[in-house]
Amino acid sequence: MRYGIIADIHGNLEALEAVIGACQQDGVRRYFCAGDIVGYGADPSACIEKVLELNAECIAGNHDWGVTGKVSVDRFNPAAQAAVAWTQNQLSTDEMKYLNNLELTYSNKDLVMVHGTLNKPETFQYLTDMTLASDTFYLMQQPVCFLGHTHVPQIYVKEDDKVNFADVQYAEIKENQNYIVNVGSVGQPRDGNALASYAIYDPDLERVEIKRTSYDIEKAQKKILNAGLPEVLARRLSIGQ
């Protein structure tokens, strides 16, 4: 069965719909979401509804819990804080409850999923170096760990206790290897590529691939501006930063 793994949707409905369309064309049957459904974008409710419609297994991101008040947003930048406050006014009680009840990790026999790192997931660390990658590898019992949070797609591989970067797009999972796959961001990529990012994982074929798809960026930008959200949140979408 093919899995579609998405993360950091951040209220960008146009990007989410494009990614779902691309996943369906690729034969994805089951969806997983590594956190941050909301924050930054103008369609937090609609994105939650889509994730529910997909029956996606979903875990908590720092923005999801920032909106519900479960984590402090004191260290969020001003634009992110403004988006959190705006989002709080958009969501229904049920939607707030859904976000608040998300767990920090999810696992099955094929994969484990977390927003930041498996080591102290509640601290929402950014997995950006080999030391943090090693800590997460150490805690893995599955061949692959999917995560997000940095909005930069990246694949790490561990083989015989050595941790390295792998090809950023594609990996064949061999028996003596484990992988950490940062799937990048659906709704606000930050790797200089404006295309929505996501991953497709086929546990039977032992293959994982990071994919990109175009979407109606202008429409998403207009909605952000019309909502009165900070202009920078619209601007950054077209440059992927």
Binding-site ranges for Zn ion (CB under 5 A): 8, 36
- Least CB distance to Zn ion at residue 14 (A): 17
Of 36 and 95, nearer to Zn ion (C-beta) is 36
Of 72, 6, 8, nearest to 39 by C-alpha is 8
- Least CB distance to Zn ion at residue 147 (A): 11
Of 7 and 157, nearer to Zn ion (C-beta) is 7
Chain center to CA of 99:
14
CB proximity list for 175: less than 8 A, separation 6 or greater:
none
- Least CB distance to Zn ion at residue 26 (A): 24
Q: Whole-angstrom Cα distance, residue 69 to residue 99? A: 10
- Least CB distance to Zn ion at residue 184 (A): 10
Of 47 and 157, nearer to Zn ion (C-beta) is 47
Burial of 233 (0-12, 13-18, 19+ CB in 10 A): buried
Of 33 and 118, nearer to Zn ion (C-beta) is 33
Of 36 and 43, nearer to Zn ion (C-beta) is 36
- Least CB distance to Zn ion at residue 177 (A): 27
- Least CB distance to Zn ion at residue 77 (A): 12
Of 36 and 57, nearer to Zn ion (C-beta) is 36
Q: Are 225 and 234 in contact (CB under 8 A)?
A: yes
Q: Whole-angstrom Cα distance, residue 179 to residue 163? A: 9
CB proximity list for 226: less than 8 A, separation 6 or greater:
42
Of 8 and 57, nearer to Zn ion (C-beta) is 8
Chain center to CA of 97:
20
Q: Whole-angstrom Cα distance, residue 150 to residue 3? A: 21
Of 109, 104, 118, 103, nearest to 181 by C-alpha is 118
- Least CB distance to Zn ion at residue 23 (A): 20
Q: Whole-angstrom Cα distance, residue 93 to residue 74? A: 23
In this structure, how many other beta carbons lie within 10 angstroms of the beta carbon of residue 87? 28
